[in-house]
Amino acid sequence: MTTFVLIPGAACGPWHWHLLDAELRARGHDVVSVELPCEDDTAGLEEYADAVVDAVAGRRRLTLVAHSFAGFTAPLVCARVPVDALVLLAAMVPVPGETPGEWWAATRHPDSAVRRAGRAAQRAGAGAAQGEMPESAVPGSAADPFFQDLPPALAAQAAVRWRRQSDTPATRPWPMTSWPPVTTRFLLCRQDRLFPAPFLRTVVADRLGTVPDEMEGGHFPMLSRPAELADRLERYRRTVTR
């Protein structure tokens, strides 16, 4: 039985995986939805990796699914515990010595307004759902970079579940000297406003030397298309050489 380890992006937690979690369990898999110390201003990338390693203790046949900012954390986990496969889902791809804060300019992210709106929402945490964010980042608005393809009620719930995201890990250089030797797949979403598809195609080609897989949806396919995403993860699992 595969254990899918779901690692959230910035300002997120297990709730943001709950629909995918249910789909994977219904297919007979074990699932670990990781709680990261994102509000802890003493926690950096190594501490995020510690949280994942602690959460999977005693489990085997691990497939890590790393969303967004978790692209900086998941490879650190692969270097510390046996992992069958790593799936990067609309994720950041780091290079040695780069901080997450430097990543945006280094990869030439194309839209500074989207970036500012996203960071404002994440820094505000759950208060963002109560009007404490720029209008451009309000869930369901025309410029929402996160939840634009969710039903309004689900988008509102997702925003209420935002956590405050400390800036500490964004200042810590990625400590690995190379990508870990683990089977890695990248899945982007064609309607993603935070990380647009043409941008991610270039990032994946430049940094991983591969062509990403693609699906429909915005930045949170685990909420907008959980069954389709579960199907894809199952296909990835079946292709892993043991």
pLDDT at 229 over 60: yes
pLDDT at 127 over 50: no
Residue among 210, 203, 165 nearest 185 (CA): 210
pLDDT at 136 over 60: no
Give the confidence band of 129 by pLDDT, cuts at 50, 70, 90: very low
Q: What per-residue confidence (pLDDT) applies to 121?
A: 59
Q: What per-residue confidence (pLDDT) applies to 130?
A: 41
- pLDDT digit string, tens, across residues 214-226: 999 999 999 999 9
Q: What per-residue confidence (pLDDT) applies to 54?
A: 98
CATH class of 3-103+167-239: alpha beta
pLDDT at 96 over 90: yes
Percent of the chain with pLDDT over 90: 81
For the chain, domain boundaries = 3-103+167-239
Contacts of 219 (CB under 8 A, 6+ apart): 68, 90, 145, 146, 147, 189, 192, 193, 194, 195
pTM of the model: 0.91
Across 7-20, average pLDDT = 97
